[in-house]
Structures are given as C-alpha cells and as structure tokens.
Structure 1
C-alpha cells in the first residue's frame, strides 16, 4: 500500500469515526459546559496515526 492509498484510507476511516460521535447539543447549564472536553482536530489525529503507521510499516 503506497502513501497516497494510506492517506485516502485514513481520511475515509476518520470520516466514519467522526460521523459516529454524538452531535454537539446546546446545553442550558454552564456547569455541563465546564466539564465537557473540547474535541480535537481530526486532521491532527489523522496525521499522528499516519506517521505511526509509516513507522510500523518499515
């Protein structure tokens, strides 16, 4: 599997994983907003995973 195929597969997998997450719903209690974690960028995660996969492939 070459690098472009791997990146395409990662994008496809990341899109599926992002679709399964709970949608952001409005909250009416500020305490709930304080305890909720921010969602990280998908592209940063994909880049990290891709780099790890390249290391293991060698």
Structure 2
C-alpha cells in the first residue's frame, strides 16, 4: 500500500491510502488501472515495478 495526495484549495492537502493494483500502459499511451493480467502476461519478462 502507498499513500497518495491531492492539492486542494490553497495549501490544504487531502491524503488517502492506495491499495496494490495492476495497471498497464496501452498502445494509445493511456494507463489502465485494474487491468486483469492473462497467464501469458504474468509469464512475460518485461514487467516493471513502480513505487
């Protein structure tokens, strides 16, 4: 899990906890969160972990 923050009005920030999730960068250069990896995706060796 990690913590995310968003800037609100002025210098006030709101924090929330983000749980682990799979995401994929699509061919149209968008990030799709909540993506369900196939068996061949899971066996691929081109994964990258972001933190």
> Normalized per residue, which structure has more helix?
1
Greater share of strand residues, 1 or 2?
A: 2
Larger Rg: 1
Greater relative CO (CA pairs within 8 A, separation 6+)? 1
TM-score, length-normalised on structure 1? 0.27
